[in-house]
């Protein structure tokens, strides 16, 4: 199987804070985005990679990994979905080719998870995404933060990345969402809006997204545990 990799990396990391966008924070000696790209750069099935960067990004080109000839960059947009659409249009994949979308802020993707996703999607269907069944009890609150009720958690999942779709279908889904004024927060949501039913593939709880500085310490511990730092 051959696939293309699209990586949205044009965010500014508001919740992380500080001047350095979180994807460039150092983690066990490398930038977070280098860890996020590493499994795909190391995979011969990955035919091309396209990273969406902020228009004023001067950091990406300085990274050692950017010498790989399969790597391209484009300017991202105001929303994550805009950045994904731009990178998808620029990645070089044909309409029927598989594209994986992976957050620049997810440095701990394990190779077993990637293999499970590739195997599941190649069975056919509407694409697939890594996800985790909810483990905690869910509470809904009022505006006063007092519990209104406990929500059933059966069949509820947290969506992770990578998410995997045919390039043409995903681009169409993102364009339809944009035209309708919707802002999907992941690729699956855009495909769902077109009537698609992507397959949920069990991911790992260690495939965290770095959102706040506390996540950085957690990601470092995960990578060191694997001997990657
Ligand atoms: N992203 C992007 N373009 C945007 C917004 C986000 O490419 N306009 C990317 C981020 O760089 C990140 C991924 O989408 O790799 C997931 O988004 P998130 O974790 O929300 O990152 P930020 O938007 O940078 O963080 P925050 O929401 O805290 O500002
Ligand atoms: Mg964001």
The answer, yes or no, to whether residue 202 has pLDDT greater than 70, is yes
Mean of pLDDT values over 157-164: 98
pLDDT at 123: 84
Which of 80, 102, 106, 109 most suits a substitution to test ligand 1, by most atoms within 8 Å of the C-beta? 80
pLDDT at 66: 87
Return the CATH superfamily for domain 3-225.
Answer: Spore Coat Polysaccharide Biosynthesis Protein SpsA; Chain A (3.90.550.10)
How is 89-142 classified by DSSP, letter by letter?
A: HHS---TTSEEEE--TT-----HHHHHHHHHHHTT-SS-EEEEEE--SPEEEE-
pLDDT, one tens digit per residue, over 19-28 is 999 999 999 9
Q: What is the mean pLDDT of the chain?
A: 96
pLDDT > 90 fraction of the chain, expressed in percent and rounded: 93
The answer, yes or no, to whether residue 99 has pLDDT greater than 90, is yes
pTM of the model: 0.97
pLDDT, one tens digit per residue, over 122-155 is 787 889 999 999 999 999 999 999 999 999 999 9
Ligand 1 and 159: CB distance under 6 A: no
Gap from CA of 80 to ligand 1 centroid (Å):
6
DSSP class of 194: T
Torsion on CA atoms 84, 89, 91, 92, rounded to nearest 10: 160
What distance in Å separates the CA atoms of residue 31 and residue 153, rounded to the nearest whole number?
35
* Domain ranges across the chain: 3-225
Gap from CA of 11 to ligand 1 centroid (Å):
4
Sequence-separated (6 or more) residues with CB below 8 Å from residue 129: 117, 159, 160, 161, 162, 163, 164, 186, 187, 188, 198, 199, 200, 201
């Amino acid at each position: 199987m051959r696939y293309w990799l699209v990586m949205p990396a044009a965010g500014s990391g508001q919740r992380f804070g500080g001047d350095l966008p979180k994807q460039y924070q150092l983690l066990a000696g490398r930038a977070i985005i280098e860890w996020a790209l590493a499994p795909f750069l190391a995979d011969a099935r990955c035919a091309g990679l396209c990273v969406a960067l902020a228009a004023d990004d001067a950091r990406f080109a300085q990274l050692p990994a950017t010498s790989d000839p399969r790597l391209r960059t484009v300017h991202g947009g105001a929303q994550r979905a805009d950045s994904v659409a731009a990178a998808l249009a620029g990645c070089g994949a044909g309409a029927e080719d598989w594209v994986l979308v992976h957050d620049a802020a997810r440095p701990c993707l394990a190779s077993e998870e990637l293999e499970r996703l590739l195997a599941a999607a190649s069975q056919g269907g509407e694409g697939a995404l890594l996800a985790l069944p909810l483990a905690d009890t869910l509470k809904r609150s009022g505006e006063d933060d007092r519990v209104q009720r406990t929500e059933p958690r059966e069949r509820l999942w947290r969506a992770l990345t990578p998410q995997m779709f045919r390039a043409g279908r995903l681009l169409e889904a993102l364009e339809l969402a944009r035209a309708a004024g919707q802002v999907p927060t992941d690729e699956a949501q855009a495909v769902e809006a077109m009537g698609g039913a992507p397959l949920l593939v069990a991911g790992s709880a260690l495939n965290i997204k770095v959102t706040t500085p506390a996540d950085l310490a957690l990601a470092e511990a995960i990578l060191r545990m694997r001997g990657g730092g």
